[in-house]
Structure 1
């Protein structure tokens, strides 16, 4: 259009060098008509193209509908490919002529097609790949009779006796191969770097990474934040430890503490038939209760632990002043008990008088550790006033006197024997 317009103007100018105003206006009107006609033609052409595009779109829609009714899936792309196990897939498009690539993780090798292309037949080229573990033991890296163990991206050697190292290349000293507290380390090679480890309970021996020495847990955790490993004694063993107890004790279920063995209940004692077995901490005692022999008075055993005085003649004043009864009691305790502490109580069941008095009998040792106090009107109690150290046997006698208007009506002796053990758990 622009060329035609230029030719028209040129012709107009060529006829007359100095056109008049009317001629110029006429030329401009002709140019305006041409521009209007060209614009109308351009709009009409654009409408036709839009109609053709709409028709083509409808045809494609109809075709897609027709084919979707006859085919079970879309025919525009190939089926989706998954990444192989222990590998990766590069590329997400499954359209025709597009390509995907496959890689394996370290320690694995690719078997199959490294890349596949979606073909016009909507089938992938090549074979689906897999990632196979690389056998690091194929080159027999273990020396001196060592056994190779293939692992993911690495290998380790189980060395024969007398050899150690990542590839069993180093010999062990004779003492190291026989001692239970020394073990060869187990080394693996990962990407060219050697890593050596020890069995549980062992650690690398100094700078020599080929030898592992036993960890002495008893020494290392003797006074840890959680307390001692064992409440009594710790015994170090190859690769571990165990707790031990003194004679007469067993290790408890937690493996740390000790529990007394009841030799009397389990019949682990040598007491005779006329003796009574008293279990103590860490042992037992065989005791025999015999009634006391006191001048002018006789006693008879009324129970295994009690003797009572026979009736006295009316004119026998010495007999009437002797104790009415003797009771025997045995206690098993541990040493270092805190004091003061109530150890035993004595009380009257049916008092006959108006007053009860309690007093401590015995020698200096008894008075060093014990005293007697009244807890209420009818009860007195034996008190421990100083801790007892070590294994020892202590005896104390508590006398309960019954009075009526300050006249003695009767005396009752309770003998208490304590077997003190030196161990406490």
Structure 2
């Protein structure tokens, strides 16, 4: 456009200055038409330039505004701090957008609210604030025959009424007596007859004679035995109630004592108030453990475990720990297909259970907080041992659950991996691995 306009102007100037070129110069009418055409071209070019300048100015304003918003977001790009629930724990320290925080309750308390919360792009937390609520074991009135229930952490004990005993006051206290006939006695008299032998397991009986009939009784925990009607011997409650209809006298070990008995518990347990049951000692909460700073203490029934969560090493992909129990994959290069097919995250969970837990039973649930595909698929990974004891079922569209399908005799440690895959028209969008480790106690109470 510039070249044609310039040629027209040069020709006009030559014709004006050198009339000798007149025979070669166009007519004035032709020159006016050419000038009008040049004027139109210049006007169009001016309009195009002005429009380009306006578009460029708009883009600069948008970039300037975006830079300002980005600066504000960088300054305040975290969600508000979450408090640790009373009688519970909080797992996860990062409050940045996209990160997740998990909540656990101490033994004897149940979680009300969200088990995990995610910092959303709006810098607000998903779900509801969790609360650890005390489990009231006395709500079902387990104590019988007028016994008073005492709620304890993760269990209960019964204070039995007079004449009753047992974990739920289900067993009557036995009364032992003997009646003897003494023909020569005609008046009432009360006396304590001497025992043939003495010792902690032998006591003299207390007898009274009324109109020729002698009644002898023993102290609680003793009974008249054999032919010697004047001697009381200790009752072995451990043997007497070992296989009774009301169950064992002690839930673990029973030791007979003069006139009574004493229950004991294995290492890692304490005897409860009722003197019969056993309750676990939380070595992690009471700091009775030797776990180092780079390990996490997991309380188990009768003991504890020191665990260390290390992010997996997978070819073509790298992972970073975003919380004590979670590792997430770093961004993949655009041309690295193997990296994009690796799991997006690994999460680790540890469960403590007693031996011979009844089955089938739900042990763990895996859910998608923000699904991006049209289908979720859950599957069980691992070898023969995992498939022998576990299976994975879907409870609803967004949740899969790890099921225990056969009881496990402790002590044992079982591991299972649950994979959750997101699909869009059968094309995989992401994979998430949840590793569950179950510590099985050798005891059943």
Which category of TM-score, normalised to the shorter sequence, fits these structures?
0.5 to 0.7
Q: Does 1:254 align with 2:274?
A: yes
Q: Does 1:411 align with 2:426?
A: no
The match for 2:191 is 156
Q: Deviations over 1:326-349 (max 9, x none)?
A: 000001112222222211111111
Of residues 278, 281, 299, the one that matches 2:319 is: 299
1:334 and 1:422 in contact (8 A); partners too: yes
For residue 218 of structure 1, give the secondary structure of its aligned residue in structure 2.
helix
The match for 1:396 is 416
Question: CA 1:388 to 1:155, structure 2 compared with 1: closer, same or farther past 3 Å?
Answer: closer
2:282, 2:360 → 1: CA distance?
Answer: 28
2:208, 2:424 → 1: CA distance?
Answer: 94
The match for 1:235 is 255
**Cα shift at 1:316:** 1.8
**Cα shift at 1:195:** 4.9
1:284, 1:359 → 2: CA distance?
Answer: 30
2:389, 2:213 → 1: CA distance?
Answer: 71
The match for 1:201 is 221
Higher Rg of the two aligned structures: 1
Q: Does 1:316 align with 2:336?
A: yes
Of residues 265, 269, 285, the one that matches 1:265 is: 285
**Cα shift at 1:216:** 0.7
CA-based RMSD of the aligned residues comes to: 2.2
2:419 and 2:433 in contact (8 A); partners too: yes
Q: How does 1:6-405 map to 2 (within 5 A)?
A: 154-156=189-191, 166=193, 168=194, 172=196, 176-177=197-198, 179-187=199-207, 195-405=215-425
For residue 416 of structure 2, give the secondary structure of its aligned residue in structure 1.
strand
For residue 414 of structure 1, give the secondary structure of its aligned residue in structure 2.
strand
1:156, 1:307 → 2: CA distance?
Answer: 80
For residue 431 of structure 2, give the secondary structure of its aligned residue in structure 1.
strand
Give the gaps of 5 or more residues in structure 2: 1-186
The match for 2:85 is none
Q: Deviations over 1:277-311 (max 9, x none)?
A: 11111111111111111122111110000001111
Aligned residue-pair number: 259
Give the gaps of 5 or more residues in structure 1: 1-151, 158-165
TM-score with structure 1 setting the length: 0.57
Q: Deviations over 1:118-176 (max 9, x none)?
A: xxxxxxxxxxxxxxxxxxxxxxxxxxxxxxxxxx963535xxxxxxxx3x5x7x4xxx4
2:225, 2:406 → 1: CA distance?
Answer: 51
Question: CA 1:402 to 1:193, structure 2 compared with 1: closer, same or farther past 3 Å?
Answer: closer
2:261, 2:347 → 1: CA distance?
Answer: 48
2:188 and 2:208 in contact (8 A); partners too: no
2:248, 2:236 → 1: CA distance?
Answer: 13
Q: Which moved more, 1:189-198 or 1:245-254?
A: 189-198
1:422, 1:345 → 2: CA distance?
Answer: 25
